[in-house]
Chain A
């Protein structure tokens, strides 16, 4: 019986829409400008989880796909002197049979769209991913970064110019990277965050539709029982 290894950090890792005051540990991050929800999508096996773990933990595991189910990771980065707390969500393998839940996309400000430069089919499928993004994303101004991964490999089926052209056509940022060698990984996330911060209205908390997040802590506004208990 295979026991997958779940990885997730932080109790509430929604997006910018999550109320800062409800975020555990928010007090420690007073200098954090905003919390952003970032998604990673693309075909199975292109290296999404590897890019995530390279970026957040600086690790690379060639056997990754066999053992790990990644939920999300939290990391704070500094861009142009602004600190942003990123909640980066992995697909949890649900893309394998093209069954990502629509709920995965809710409230994201940025998305990293990954293909494998050694597999043309993963490049061809990008259209489907853009389509799905369009259907389920709640905002129209979500920032997109296209990443051509695995450039450490000698063999290639998609050259750099093709990736660049596709990114231009769809108004995406573009970079080639390797989760294995670390090439371009940091840069992909940083540029994405920079662009999000530069987009007015995308991340400011007053523009977010705040919802209630449930946690282990008791929230009580004016006491439980609608105030009736306190009468007794």
Chain B
């Protein structure tokens, strides 16, 4: 149905990252009419997860030359008493994208990801021609020239095996912009219905298999975990958004010391069962961790060190060097010299408090990837009436000259959509608006490997590993290794995410030394022809992502007072920043409303006079429990 977007809302949210999605859900939940748009064809922005082919499309998008960053037409659409604040046409937050393929192509030249193949090509309508073959979302219709489809990167099949720096690749003119001829052509070569590939016993996974099983991958652009007592978990539970997601416990905390990967015991049981620790060390660690659990009670123990780095403080405690190392890097998850004693104690306490709520480590990971989380909040927003449009770009904000307030947006069709409040993700703002903003960068690597960095009885492990910096003072590298039961990679492979704040020019320069410490490139492994200790590297992606967190509102130029900015993902492990931002914005917009209360019991909703405007009564905190019991009680049993 060629529906037209309504032209009036209470709140317009631009960008579908986690903070924007939480605000959208909160506003919608409080009865505001919400329009939530994203110029991209998928949910999540830099918080998204992709299938393998989806990720290849994403990579290709960032290697394409910018076709001008300015919108042309909006000026003419302004009235006398208005001015416009332009928004960005093309995202600039991702840089230095490099792909390296290690696994060999096998003889089967025509493998194509099953999910990406259009087995029954739809008649070319405006909607279908704009649907990217496999991004994590589908496009809005009628957007022909603004959203060129992300075609399957044909390059992936033909380039030489090693060192493909996609940024330098040239592009042939054979990429049609309205259809994917490649897709249709290849479809004929694919046996219909074939889907599951048996992974060869000898762990010889080929690139073709990765492509073919590409749908099994959900590769996060941003790699984070949820603290089991963190703000995000609390919000998910309180708002009942948790019903839209499932999680896995992180099973292991790993440490890296003297060239080897070790498991760090953290729960009481772990400490007692540890084979690495001596009896004396076990007692030392237990004693220290028990103290950290409520260190505030014994200020005399750390008062003198408040001004010192945490690492110095640890030296004064009865801990062996290896215990100090693990407390610093794997429990407090901080680096030498970077964190003060108080912060270190607080982080350690937080870690311990989160232990045991859902499992043996303090962390949870969402099944199907971090990219599920923004989508869950978007669904909540939609359930309460929010309107969703992807592939829907916004040209400018319309500002009323007299009041200085934003009154509308003009979208890519030139349609004017008015609202009272506007929430814009940082990456949509132009250089003009952000000229005084100093952004930091993050370095990211995504690896597909064939084995875990630390062998264990079960091969289904989810691990977090902190690799300390080589040079003191620089940042540690956070490594999160996911197994196939997290639904983020194919059977027989592991998906490994590396993250650190950027210090060198490119992500590859920042991270490659750590990658080399932990993994062996596939080709070399073949040469050595012996049981290699380290896991093999099948495929690697490096990129830099802009860290727009922590920017003061005043740093942006000419921001109307009813326009609020959300940042992209930050470098931290948890999601605290996203939740705090969303709650702060929500309180500005609706100071008297509760933030994401539990959904009401359907039976409590009362219609007023004309039957068209149901009033949702103020939900009581305990309502969520009622929903459960009543919902269950009311099931009709048909017999």
Contacts and interface: CB of A to CB of B under 8 A. Distances in A.
Contacts of A71: 379, 383, 599
Nearest to B358: A212
A219 to B, nearest CB: 6
A228 B233 contact: no
A217 to B, nearest CB: 9
Interface stretch (B235-243, B322-330, B401-409): B235-243
Contact of B137 (A17, A99, A106): A99
A134 B3 contact: no
B357 interface: yes
Given A96-B3, A134-B119, A226-B360, A216 B290 contact: no
Contacts of B236: 214
Contact of A97 (B290, B358, B389, B612): B389
Nearest to B622: A216
Contacts of B625: 216
Interface stretch (A4-12, A156-164, A176-184): A4-12
A214 B246 CA distance: 8
A175 B293 CA distance: 61
A1 B615 CA distance: 11
Contacts of B388: 94, 96-97, 99
B463 to A, nearest CB: 17
A99 B390 contact: yes
Interface string B188-210: 00000001100000000000000
Interface string B279-301: 00000001001100110000000
A9 B624 CA distance: 10
Interface stretch (B101-109, B304-312, B628-636): B628-636
B141 interface: yes
A107 B243 CA distance: 13
Given A7-B602, A74-B632, A224-B355, A45 B195 contact: no
B268 A127 contact: no
A212 B356 CA distance: 13
Contacts of B237: 214-216
Contacts of B233: 214
A18 B244 CA distance: 11
B403 to A, nearest CB: 22
Interface in A1-43: 1-14, 17-18, 24-25, 28, 43
A98 B196 contact: no
Interface stretch (B64-72, B84-92, B123-131): B123-131
A130 B192 CA distance: 14
Interface in B542-591: none
B382 A11 contact: no
A78 interface: yes
A103 B389 contact: no
A92 interface: yes
A140 interface: yes
Nearest to A107: B246
Interface in A58-91: 63, 66-67, 69-71, 74-78, 83, 85
B375 A211 contact: no
Contacts of A3: 31, 385, 613-616
Given A97-B3, A127-B120, A224-B353, A106 B367 contact: yes
Contacts of A77: 637-638
B81 to A, nearest CB: 27
B384 A227 contact: no
B120 A8 contact: no
A44 interface: yes
B447 interface: no
Most buried by A among B43, B118, B638: B638
A98 B129 CA distance: 13
A101 B375 contact: yes
B1 A220 contact: no
A41 to B, nearest CB: 12
A69 B383 contact: yes
Interface in B73-87: none
Contacts of B1: 43-45, 96, 121-122
Contacts of A66: 612
Contacts of A198: none
Contacts of B122: 124-125, 127-128, 131
Contact of B289 (A125, A214, A228): A228
Contacts of B268: 226-228, 230-231
Nearest to B272: A227
Contacts of A221: 356, 358-360
B167 interface: no
Contacts of B248: 211-212
Interface residues of B, number: 104
A101 B359 contact: no
Contacts of A225: 293, 352-353, 355-356
A92 B246 contact: no
A93 interface: yes
B209 to A, nearest CB: 16
B364 interface: yes
B632 A28 contact: yes
A132 B115 contact: no
B57 interface: no
B215 interface: yes
Contacts of A227: 267-269, 355-356
B249 interface: yes
A167 interface: no
A138 B266 CA distance: 34
Contacts of A140: 195-196
Nearest to A29: B632
A216 B248 CA distance: 17
Contacts of A2: 33, 385, 613
A218 interface: yes
A219 B120 CA distance: 46
A200 interface: no
Contacts of A134: 114-115, 119
Contact of A228 (B3, B293, B364, B600): B293
Nearest to B294: A232
B628 A10 contact: yes
A226 B131 contact: no
A74 B487 contact: no
A214 B247 contact: yes
Contacts of B602: 5-9
B270 A226 contact: yes
Interface in B355-400: 355-360, 364, 367-368, 372, 375-376, 378-379, 382-385, 387-390, 392
Interface of B: 1, 3, 5, 10, 31-33, 43, 51, 114-116, 118-123, 125, 127-128, 131, 134, 136-141, 195-196, 215, 233, 236-237, 240, 242-249, 266-270, 286, 289-290, 293-294, 352-353, 355-360, 364, 367-368, 372, 375-376, 378-379, 382-385, 387-390, 392, 485, 487, 599-600, 602, 605, 612-616, 624-625, 627-632, 634-639
26 contacts: A2-B613, A6-B384, A8-B383, A8-B602, A9-B631, A10-B631, A13-B243, A25-B629, A75-B636, A76-B635, A77-B638, A78-B637, A78-B638, A93-B385, A94-B388, A96-B3, A99-B137, A99-B140, A124-B122, A128-B122, A128-B138, A211-B248, A214-B242, A221-B356, A226-B268, A226-B269
Given A131-B131, A226-B269, 18 more contacts: A4-B614, A7-B602, A97-B3, A97-B387, A98-B139, A101-B378, A102-B375, A106-B368, A121-B1, A136-B136, A212-B249, A212-B364, A214-B245, A221-B360, A226-B355, A228-B352, A229-B293, A231-B290
Interface of A: 1-14, 17-18, 24-25, 28, 43-45, 56, 63, 66-67, 69-71, 74-78, 83, 85, 92-94, 96-104, 106-107, 121-122, 124-125, 127-128, 130-132, 134-136, 138, 140, 170, 186, 209, 211-216, 218-232
User: 7 smallest A-B Cβ distances: which pairs?
Assistant: A226-B355, A211-B246, A226-B267, A9-B631, A227-B268, A4-B385, A127-B122
